Amino acid sequence: MDLAGKKIGLLSSHTEPAKAAEALLRRRYGWVEESEADVLVALGGDGFMLQTLHQMLEDGVSRPVFGMNRGTVGFLMNDWLVEDLEERIAGAKAIRVAPLEMTARTLGGDSFTHAAINEVSLLRETRQTAKIEVSVNGRSAMPELACDGVLVATPAGSTAYNLSAGGPILPLQAKMLALTPISPFRPRRWSGAILPDDTAISFAVHEAENRPVSAVADQFEVRDVVQVDVRLDRDRSLTLLFDPEHALDERIAMEQFAT
Nearest residue to 66 (alpha-carbon basis) of 143, 136, 110, 1: 1
Give the model's pLDDT for residue 214. 98
* Rounded distance between C-alpha atoms, residue 229 and residue 137, angstroms: 10
Per annotation, catalytic residue among 2, 38, 46, 218: 46
Q: Which residues are documented as binding site?
A: 46-47, 118-119, 148, 156, 159-164
Beta carbons of 224 and 106 less than 8 angstroms apart = yes
Nearest residue to 248 (alpha-carbon basis) of 37, 97, 91: 97
* Rounded distance between C-alpha atoms, residue 12 and residue 68, angstroms: 10
- Taking only the tens place, the pLDDT of each residue in 98-154 is 999 999 999 999 999 999 999 999 999 999 999 999 999 999 999 999 999 999 999
Nearest residue to 196 (alpha-carbon basis) of 149, 162, 231: 231
- Taking only the tens place, the pLDDT of each residue in 14-39 is 999 999 999 999 999 999 999 999 99
Q: Which residues are documented as binding site for NAD(+)?
A: 46-47, 118-119, 148, 156, 159-164
Beta carbons of 69 and 47 less than 8 angstroms apart = no
Give the model's pLDDT for residue 258. 82
Beta carbons of 173 and 154 less than 8 angstroms apart = no
Please, what is the Cα angle at 181 between 179 and 184, to 5 degrees? 155
Catalytic residue at 249?
Answer: no
Percent of the chain with pLDDT over 70: 98
- Taking only the tens place, the pLDDT of each residue in 141-158 is 999 999 999 999 999 999
Domains of the chain: 8-98+237-257 (3.40.50.10330), 100-234 (2.60.200.30)
Does 4 have pLDDT greater than 50?
Answer: yes
| End-to-end Cα separation, the chain, in angstroms | 35
